[in-house]
Homo-oligomer: A and B are copies of this chain.
Amino acid sequence: MSLNFESPEPLHIQLKKKLKEDILNGCYKNKIPSERTLMERYSVSRTTVRMSVSMLVNEGILQKSHGKGTFISNTPVQDWLGSFKSFTETVKSTGMNPGSKLIYQGKSSSPEKVGNILGLDQFYLIERLRFADDIPVAIEKHYYSVEIGEKLEKYDLNTVVIYDLLETTLGINLWKAKQSITSGKPLKQDAKYLEILESSSVLLSERIIYDPQGNPIEFLNSVFRPDMYSFNIEMMRAREN
């Protein structure tokens, strides 16, 4: 629980990491402990506590409410379900700045499940780390037919909005999506990219996009940081007839 006073890493950075980990793991509900409590718990100065907290405020993980304390923010990125959007569109709609880093692109024939969904033995994978205001938020694995993949690979996948390319340049009609949301643990590699611990919980989503004829165009597998991303929806009550 305590900080390492021998470490060359500044105490406010250590404390920031510790608080972030605790928030991510749901140790605090709604509010973090007071400055005084944190000072005593970690044997650090008020200045150190304030520096750590303001770094987390800057990252959007904490929110100050004057006179009331420091609250754990609703996730900065809120994905409002109802119509399906690209990650870029979702992040922009929260007023943040979307970014991408290409991790992998190329042909693949595993996992078998993707082949079953797309009805293909071989397919094309584009894997990207996604950012909101330079904070890593998600890893998206897009799977397409090799034909579509080979058209996409002519572009710089670090910068393009894939759905814009598909819809505008390639003239593919993205019509309907079926999405499933659950949770799990990150792969070692994914945890590293997302800057979270392997023992963290992550939000998982799978989505299939169909064209108007019902052909599957894309299978998308996403891993989200639960402190940064949530799914949201407004619904009416189901009425029985």
Contacts and interface: CB of A to CB of B under 8 A. Distances in A.
Interface stretch (A55-63, A94-102, A144-152, A175-183): A175-183
A1 interface: no
Contacts of A235: 81-84, 176-177, 179
Oligomer copy total? 2
A26 B201 contact: no
B112 A233 contact: no
A11 interface: no
A85 B234 contact: no
Interface stretch (A33-41, A45-53, A224-232): A224-232
Contacts of A154: none
Contacts of A105: none
A185 interface: yes
A32 to B, nearest CB: 13
Interface residues of A, number: 47
B81 A113 contact: no
A217 to B, nearest CB: 11
A18 to B, nearest CB: 16
A74 interface: yes
B30 A113 contact: yes
Given A30-B112, A113-B29, A113-B30, A231 B181 contact: yes
Contacts of A84: 235-238
B231 A180 contact: yes
Contacts of A26: 184-185, 187
A173 B238 CA distance: 12
Nearest to A199: B199
Contact of A180 (B180, B232, B239): B232
Interface of A: 25-26, 29-31, 74-75, 78, 81-85, 89, 111-113, 174-185, 187, 199, 201-204, 226, 229-239
12 contacts: A26-B187, A31-B112, A75-B182, A81-B235, A84-B236, A177-B235, A178-B232, A181-B181, A181-B233, A182-B226, A184-B201, A231-B231
